[in-house]
Copies of this chain bind each other. A is one copy, B any other.
Amino acid sequence: MSNLNKIKSILIKKTLKLDCGKEISNFPLAYETYGNLNEKKDNAILIFHALTGDQYASGINPITKKEGWWNYAVGPGKSFDTDKFFVICANVIGGCMGSYGPGTIDPLTNQPIGTNFPVITINDMVNAQYNLLDYFNIEKLFAVAGGSMGGMQVLQFVSNFPNKARVALPIACTASHSAQNIAFNELGRQAIMSDSNWKEGLYDEKSTNPDKGLAVARMAAHITYLSKQGLQEKFGRNLQERSDLKFGFDADFQIESYLRYQGSVFVDRFDANSYLYITRAMDYFDLTKQFGGNLSKAFKDSKTKFFIISFTSDWLYPTSENKDIVIALNAIGADVGFVEIKTDKGHDSFLLNVPDFLSTIKNYLNTTYSNINERRI
Tell me the A residues contacting B by CB distance below 8 Å: 19-21, 115, 118-119, 176-180, 182-184, 186-187, 189-191, 193-197, 212-213, 215-216, 219-220, 223, 226, 228, 231-232, 234-237, 245, 247-249, 251-253, 255-256, 259-260, 263, 276, 280, 283-284, 286, 289, 315, 318
Q: A196 to chain B: which residues have CB within 8 Å?
A: 195-197, 212
B228 contacts A315, C-beta separation under 8 Å: yes
Docked CA distance A186–B191 (Å): 14
Docked CA distance A248–B115 (Å): 9
Which one, B21, B190, B232, contacts A216 given CB within 8 A? B190
Contacts A178-B228, A194-B195 given; indicate if A216 touches B237 (C-beta within 8 A): no
Docked CA distance A247–B124 (Å): 13
A248 contacts B183, C-beta separation under 8 Å: no
Docked CA distance A347–B34 (Å): 47
Q: How far is the CB of A222 from chain B (nearest CB, A)?
A: 8
> Can you report 8 A-B residue pairs in the complex whose CB atoms are below 8 A from each other?
A119-B247, A179-B232, A182-B237, A187-B220, A189-B249, A193-B249, A194-B216, A196-B196
B179 contacts A236, C-beta separation under 8 Å: yes
Docked CA distance A226–B220 (Å): 16
A245 contacts B284, C-beta separation under 8 Å: yes
Q: Which residue of B lies closest to A195 (CB)?
A: B194
A182 contacts B249, C-beta separation under 8 Å: no
Docked CA distance A226–B318 (Å): 17
Q: A256 to chain B: which residues have CB within 8 Å?
A: 182-183, 186
Q: A180 to chain B: which residues have CB within 8 Å?
A: 223, 226, 228, 231-232
A216 contacts B228, C-beta separation under 8 Å: no
B176 contacts A237, C-beta separation under 8 Å: yes
Q: A20 to chain B: which residues have CB within 8 Å?
A: 247
Q: How far is the CB of A373 from chain B (nearest CB, A)?
A: 42
B247 contacts A276, C-beta separation under 8 Å: no
Q: How far is the CB of A192 from chain B (nearest CB, A)?
A: 10
